[in-house]
Copies of this chain bind each other. A is one copy, B any other.
Amino acid sequence: MATEASTDGTEAPDAYEELVERYRRIANVGNASGILSWDQQVMMPEGGTPARSQQLSALSAVHHDLLDDVEVGDLLDAAESAELDEEQAAVVREIRRSYEREVRVPTELVEEISATSSEALSAWEEARAADDFEAFEPYLEKLVDLKRQYAEHIDPDADPYEVLFQDYEPYLSLERTEEILDELKGVLVPMIEEIRESETPITTTAFEGTWDAEEQEELAREALTLVGYDWDRGRLDTSSHPFTSGTQFDARVTTRFDESDPLASLTSTIHEFGHANYQLGLPDEAYATPLGEARDLSVHESQSRLWENHVGRSKAFWELFLPTVTEQFPDAEGVTAEEAYESANQVYEDNLIRVEADELTYHLHIVIRFEIERALISGDLDVSDVPETWNDKYEEYLGIRPDTDADGCLQDIHWSHGNFGYFPTYSLGSVMAAQLYESAEEELGDLDERTRDGDFAELHEWLRENVHQYGKRYETGDLVREATGEEFTAEAFTDYVTEKYGDLYDLDSA
């Protein structure tokens, strides 16, 4: 075993190969956990929970032990001292990053965070049901404290919020993220206000009535087939929250059905398709290595949002898809593509719930969470002040004020998992989606025309060539630059929404 670093490089290729071999096992154990989680959410009978928790803990402990291993450290040192090509260097960079995050945090702290999250999750569920923030407060306080310690272990010199953020988005700076979110706020707050005051009526009720869940499932399958889901490497199921799970060989999506709102399931299915399609576009031969793994959360979200919004919420898509809808649901006969398009893009004036938000207000939900969690981690905001701060910000940015904490700061699961820094990746993903879609269109010409024809082959090809095929080879900013020729910026997104919603609501600012 070549664990010694060498300066002449003769042993380094061996070290590199062995490092990758070890990483493969680690990645496969992680992927096995992914299957167990999918099963738990989709297939497992309710009584299976105690055994499943132990199985997942065992795999998580094995994953930790395989990575937090002095031999892995030696192999990393040896590989880093060698001459590596660009791809190999990227592989080593990514394994180093995982390794450092694993070894720097004491196992006891990881276990304490995990145990506290478990308790906090139950407490949050109860607190939300009872609209009782105070019942959740001590858990949130403890998690804020533990995650501050966690950040301190990883990098005592950095802004702890930035360290946490980098668990989800390792290669974008907090500064850039803040600039982008500020830009969104600057554009969206007045735009939403203008929409609120707009006199232009748009159709909001193209799909009223009751929509049978089984028929909706058929429709979701038709939609997935239409956008090019590879059924030989995927499947659609239902779960209480939609999600995607898998690898380039097997990427599965889930959805859920609201019988009063077929658009909810449809857009969420196309969203999950975007995630799955990214996984499926990763190179087969790099499976279970960093070059065969997705580039973190903002890029992942760019893929889901691109398909959900730029394709699935376009007028062209509704021109294409409406005949399929009316075939499945004869009651929809008479709805026009324009009406369907308007209904799918209505801006909600009084929606308090992030996951039910439209393309515009969504980002203000995110900005609010970002500002609050950042202040929590820095210590500028006390946990006990979260509800009031939350409500004030909703009033300021969205012109609405929650009546309850259940519909306010208790609505999301993320903080009860101790996930601080996750929310911004949702907005970064939307922004990146717009930038990528704009670039694809510059290169390929009018994409709406192709959508209208149900011809997504070139878009698939473009995304695969410019994003998917690289896995984690590039850091996020470099990946965007490689794909678009530009720095990562919110410009394409603000152009896109200004034009689309200016047109829809006949706004002066457009």
Contact = CB atoms under 8 A, between A and B. Distances in A.
Interface stretch (A46-54, A345-353, A416-424, A461-469): A46-54
B51 A31 contact: yes
B232 A58 contact: no
B45 A29 contact: no
A471 B32 CA distance: 27
Contacts of A252: 45
How many copies are assembled? 2
A132 interface: no
Interface in A144-178: none
A32 B59 contact: yes
A250 B48 contact: yes
Nearest to A232: B47
A233 B49 CA distance: 9
A457 to B, nearest CB: 19
A413 interface: no
Interface in A225-243: 230-235
A39 interface: yes
Contacts of A130: none
Contacts of A235: 43, 45
Contacts of A234: 45
A61 B249 contact: no
A109 interface: no
Interface residues of A, number: 42
Contact of A24 (B31, B47, B54): B54
A284 interface: yes
B45 A31 contact: no
A28 interface: yes
Given A32-B32, A35-B36, A232-B46, A58 B25 contact: yes
A62 interface: yes
Contacts of A25: 58, 61-62
Nearest to A288: B54
A287 interface: yes
Contacts of A50: 249, 284, 287
A255 interface: no
A118 interface: no
A298 interface: no
Nearest to A51: B249
A45 B287 contact: no
A28 to B, nearest CB: 4
Contact of A29 (B28, B58, B231, B249): B58
Interface of A: 24-25, 28-29, 31-33, 35-36, 39, 43-52, 54-55, 57-59, 61-62, 66, 230-235, 247-250, 252, 284, 287-288
25 contacts: A24-B58, A25-B61, A28-B54, A28-B57, A28-B58, A28-B59, A29-B58, A31-B51, A32-B32, A32-B33, A32-B59, A35-B36, A35-B39, A36-B36, A43-B43, A45-B233, A45-B235, A47-B230, A47-B233, A49-B249, A50-B249, A50-B284, A51-B250, A51-B288, A62-B66
Closest 5 pairs between A and B when the two form their complex, measured CB to CB: A48-B250, A28-B58, A47-B233, A51-B249, A47-B232
